[in-house]
Amino acid sequence: MYNSKIIGLGKYVPENVVSNDDLSSIMDTSDEWIRERTGIENRRHIKKGDGNSTAIMGYKASIIALKRANIQPKEIDLILFATLSPDYYFPGSGVILQELLNIEACPAMDIRNQCSGFIYALTTADQFIKTGMYKNILVVGSENHSGGLDMSSRGRGVSVIFGDGAGAAILSREENNKKGIQSSFIYSEGKYAKELSLIGPSTNRWVPEILDENDPEDISYFPYMNGQMVFKHAVVRFSEVIQEVLNKNKWSSEDIDLLIPHQANLRISQFIQKKFKLSENQVFNNIMKYGNTTAASIPIALSEAWEQGRINNGSKIVLAAFGSGFTWGSTSVVW
């Protein structure tokens, strides 16, 4: 049985920087309020006319990852595209990315697991490679949040958190089972589905019905988050899945070279860091610059950590995520 090794990483974020002060000019919030609750200082938003979309940002990140992996698009056997904000209701963004990469024919699959989408996608890719079905898999996380946020005081509790961007990883077959992905764990708990959700429009309540009602107070088409509940469950589930990969690999906290958590909230990351007694050098956070980019947050952070020289040959990496669904998971990697 083969192992999966990450051989190339790439990231892309829009050029348009939106600061906390920028948001305070259009809604009742402040830099202090946002930093205190989330740790976020800036985020990137697509700007109308800049040519970006979920698939196009995924394409830009993928081109960088392919170049660093030293392989051509035609060598990709499968595309896994994690997003909650696809370009279209259907088809998925994976097939759009395939066309942008000019790949004549390969399977493309969208994975709709929101904040833990990249972990789910890595786990899926790992299984395809382990069984020998595919050799090279492109895994992308990309989000265009700004196109669907309530940018008013009413929506500030959610809208100040999220940013746009994309990250990509090339996974390839590795015969040395001491390198590459060592273990993955993924879970869900659907009874909490509505605690972090966007309910409409959907096939249960489609656009004509919403328009006919013409209800200015209808916020079903904006994201909803029960912040306290999400925080409470996140710190528990993060802890569980991180401990699970440590147990599986017989690692201690001291063995972790870098923990890259989903960039949901800096306070969650700090709680986990303290719980596992990790040093500042053992945890990577960039939510301060980019906000929460959901499925894109881990690949953006992973790519940035690699670019900064914080990931080297033999580094032991733990990736962990929690989010809407509720869904959560973790992956351990030896670089």
Catalytic sites, residue numbers: 115, 262, 292
CA–CA dist 322, 230 (Å, integer)? 9
C-alpha radius of gyration, the chain, whole number: 19
DSSP type of residue 193: G
CA–CA dist 294, 300 (Å, integer)? 10
| SS3 assignment, position 72 | coil
Residue 164, Cβ neighbours under 10 Å: how many? 30
Cβ 77 vs Cβ 105: under 8 Å: no
Cβ 46 vs Cβ 56: under 8 Å: no
DSSP type of residue 9: E
The residue to which tokens 């050029």 are assigned: 15
Cβ 284 vs Cβ 259: under 8 Å: yes
CA–CA dist 55, 143 (Å, integer)? 9
CA–CA dist 334, 102 (Å, integer)? 32
- According to DSSP, the β-strands at 165-174 and 180-188 are unpaired
As given in the structure block, the two tokens for residue 90 are 């259907």
Nearest in space to 1 (alpha carbons), one of 90, 131, 110:
131
CA distances from 26 to 18, 38, 232, 293 (A): 12, 19, 30, 21
Which residues, including other chains, have CB under 8 Å from residue 211's CB and lie 6 or more apart? none
